[in-house]
Amino acid sequence: MKVLLTGGAGFIGTHVHHQLVAEGHDVVVFDSFRPDVHARRPDPRPGLIIGDVRDADAVTQAMDGIDTVVHLAAKVGLGVHLDDIDDYVSSNSLGTAVLLKSLGNVHNLVYASSMVVYGEGRYDCDDHGQVAPGPRRTEDLAQGRFEPPCPYCGAPLRPDLVTEDAAMDPRNAYAASKLNGEQLAAAWARETGGRVTALRFHNVYGPGMPRNTPYAGVAAIFRSALERGETPRVFEDGRQRRDFVHVRDVAAAVTLSAAALPHRPPFTAYNVGSGTVTTIGEVAAELARAYGGQPPVITGEYRLGDVRHITASSDRLKNELGWKPAYDLQTGIKDLLGQDRW
């Protein structure tokens, strides 16, 4: 199988590239090497195309002989402020649209989505069953009331795992752009007879995590603070529930999905997580222990565009494609630590 891998020089892309090559596939990497992510821009070479997915001519030329496209290229990050909403829409929504228009005779696409498309996770109320909490209110957060109440009775809610058929509720610019990419890809599949698998990644960590860039997830932010000799700072009360999945497990999910595409429905979405619910405070504490740093400080600070809890079930991916994560958090952090000290 010949694969075009957009964003193939990035954090996740590098691991996907290695996994695809290890499985015997021919891979062409397409990456813009945007300066806010990459320290240097290499020269093009066989198997590496320097280009932007918004450049239709470059993307069309890259499709020559391709069987499957794995589309990882995107502007990622928190997306909780409106200052760069146009960059998210341009890089992600427009970039995906140009890619889809340029696919030509290529009918197989793996699209890198994100668990942020769900917004807040699943919640249950004792009296009202499953409910969707309303927008977070500044006055609640400022008073340290971080848990969303039932929108009907105000009672405490119980967070639970989200499945792929949950309602979409993106709550920031990045989330909206990733959901828009899914919708565009689904429309392309319907119109062309193509096949799309959208992988909704959880919080990805592991060797090669970016440092000190807008692309650094919370685990990378904590790791960078510890390397500077600083104490990790945890927002809210540290009890926000997340799922941290190792980048090599993510790469395995991508390659499995790419190989299975010819036998899949026109559009399928899969959650990709470790299956273990972990709080952000626990991750900060685990990293601090691993790096020999000070225990994290719980600051009570908040960002209005953040969600409180988001964890999802990855059972569909496990049952339908036989995927199984190989790393728990402790093993994954040991792997990260060993890579950093190597």
Q: Does the pLDDT at position 261 exceed 60?
A: yes
Residue 339: predicted pLDDT: 60
* Cross-strand partners of 269: 198
Residues 210 and 288: their CA atoms lie apart, in Å, by: 18
Residue 171: predicted pLDDT: 85
Mean per-residue pLDDT of the chain: 93
Confidence of residue 190 (pLDDT cuts 50, 70, 90): very high
**Residue range 238-246: average pLDDT?**
96
Residue 215: predicted pLDDT: 52
Q: Does the pLDDT at position 53 exceed 60?
A: yes
Between residues 134 and 117, the one the model is more confident about? 117
Residues 7 and 95: their CA atoms lie apart, in Å, by: 11
Sorted by where each begins, the domain ranges of the chain are 2-121+162-338
The SS3 of residue 131 is strand
| Model pTM score | 0.93
**Residue range 52-65: average pLDDT?**
98
Confidence of residue 199 (pLDDT cuts 50, 70, 90): very high
**Residue range 217-240: average pLDDT?**
92
Q: Tell me how crowded residue 245 is: count the other CB atoms within 10 A of its CB.
A: 27
Rounded to the nearest 10°, the torsion over CA 48, 204, 52, 260 is: 70
**Residue range 93-99: average pLDDT?**
98
Range with lowest mean pLDDT among 23-27, 40-44, 240-244: 40-44
Q: pLDDT exceeding 70 applies to what percent of the chain?
A: 96
Residues in the chain: 342
Q: Does the pLDDT at position 78 exceed 80?
A: no
**Residue range 320-333: average pLDDT?**
94
Confidence of residue 302 (pLDDT cuts 50, 70, 90): very high
Q: Does the pLDDT at position 126 exceed 60?
A: yes
Q: Tell me how crowded residue 319 is: count the other CB atoms within 10 A of its CB.
A: 9
**Residue range 280-285: average pLDDT?**
95
Confidence of residue 45 (pLDDT cuts 50, 70, 90): confident
* Domain range 2-121+162-338, CATH architecture: 3-Layer(aba) Sandwich (3.40)
Read off the tokens for 83. Answer: 């200052």
Cβ–Cβ < 8 Å for 314, 163 = no
Residue 132: predicted pLDDT: 92
Q: pLDDT exceeding 90 applies to what percent of the chain?
A: 82
The residue whose two tokens read 């062409």 is 28
Residue 341: predicted pLDDT: 43
Residues 57 and 248: their CA atoms lie apart, in Å, by: 32
Q: Does the pLDDT at position 213 exceed 60?
A: no
Residue 156: predicted pLDDT: 94
Phi–psi pair at 272, nearest 5 degrees: -125, 100
* Cross-strand partners of 113: 200
- Alpha helices of 4-130 — where are they, by DSSP H? 11-22, 56-62, 85-88, 95-101
- The CB-side HSE value for 74 (13 A sphere, CA atoms) comes to 31
78-92, 219-233, 264-278: which is most confident? 264-278
